[in-house]
A and B are shown apart, each in its own frame.
Chain A
Amino acid sequence: MESLFVLALVGATSLLAAALVRWVGGPSRKRWQAAVGRAFDAVGLGVVFFVANIALGTAVVLLTRAATGTFLSAYLVNDVTLAALSLLQGLVFAGLLAGRRRARGPGGRRSGRGGPAP
């Protein structure tokens, strides 16, 4: 029941937002697909950051234990904020990469600072 309620809420607000976007002269189907693709890029990069953060954190914990004898708990990396912050890292860096791709243009060459190539 709780699951259905959550899904229904998200579905309703998504449909409402999509209708609103369409009403103000919304983008084509291709642009919708591109937007979803960019969201997946950001999430994928977030997963990469998440794995890197956990690997680095675990290495620091184990090395500190081995090198100094000071006990650090491996549960230090078991924190939900790490997932949220990794996703944020993914969003920022995916945005940077997308901006770099746009600057290079479709053929991969630089097209200047946002303006059309001469």
Chain B
Amino acid sequence: MRSALRGLGAAAVAGFLLTAFTPLAAVLSRALALAGPLQPAQAIVVLGGGGVRADGSLTDTSWRRTWRGLELYRAGLAPLLVLAGPRTPEGPVEAEVRAALVGQCGVPAEAVLTAPQGRTTREEAVAIGRLLSARGIHRIILVADAEGMRRAAAAFARQGFAVVPAPAADVPALTAGPEERLEVMRRVVLEALALVYYRAAGYL
């Protein structure tokens, strides 16, 4: 048992050093990411991203994804911007805070749809699936983090959507130093586990 623990410890230290001081995390992140050429669609769907802070501001992830959605809308890739995000324990609804933000950036209210029902990627896919199917929308541009795109795109494809992935990627910026590489690896491991869970649960 002692030698097994020692081997595990040595492997963990080696893994830590490889992650922090080599491009391993970025390589694995790229392997998980799903990207293709951007094409026009009927709607841009921006997944929830950690909600709203107690002071009413969006989390960094939520803000980054919203901004990516806004960029795509302004590029004329779709006429409708669907902003997801549930009510947070503090009160504000992430989707509504995002809608207010894009409204201030000049997106007309009739081009924005909020989807506050989903608390997980699967719940978002189901809720937005109902919302958009009723409008005859079947082709979407999906905005999520790079590492989570494979799982999110599969969850939306399961709801009958043709998905154009548009990752709100910050991986290149995150791979500058050891701390950032560890953060990327944390996301990669988390996403790999989530992918396994979604497959086992039959969500994909």
Contact = CB atoms under 8 A, between A and B. Distances in A.
Contact of A6 (B2, B119, B178, B190): B178
B178 A2 contact: yes
Contact of B8 (A7, A39, A48, A71): A48
Interface residues of B, number: 21
A40 B1 CA distance: 13
Interface residues of A, number: 22
Interface string B1-36: 010111111101100000011000000000000000
Contact of B177 (A3, A42, A46): A3
A7 B119 CA distance: 41
Nearest to B22: A3
B176 interface: yes
Main secondary structure of the interface of A (DSSP, over half): helix
A75 B176 CA distance: 25
Contact of A43 (B13, B50, B119, B190): B13
B186 interface: yes
| A40, A42, A44, A71: residue with the most chain B Cβ atoms closer than 10 Å | A44
Contacts of A74: 120, 194
A71 B186 CA distance: 23
8 contacts: A7-B21, A40-B5, A41-B9, A43-B8, A43-B10, A44-B8, A44-B9, A47-B8
Interface of A: 2-3, 6-7, 37, 39-48, 71, 73-75, 78, 80, 94
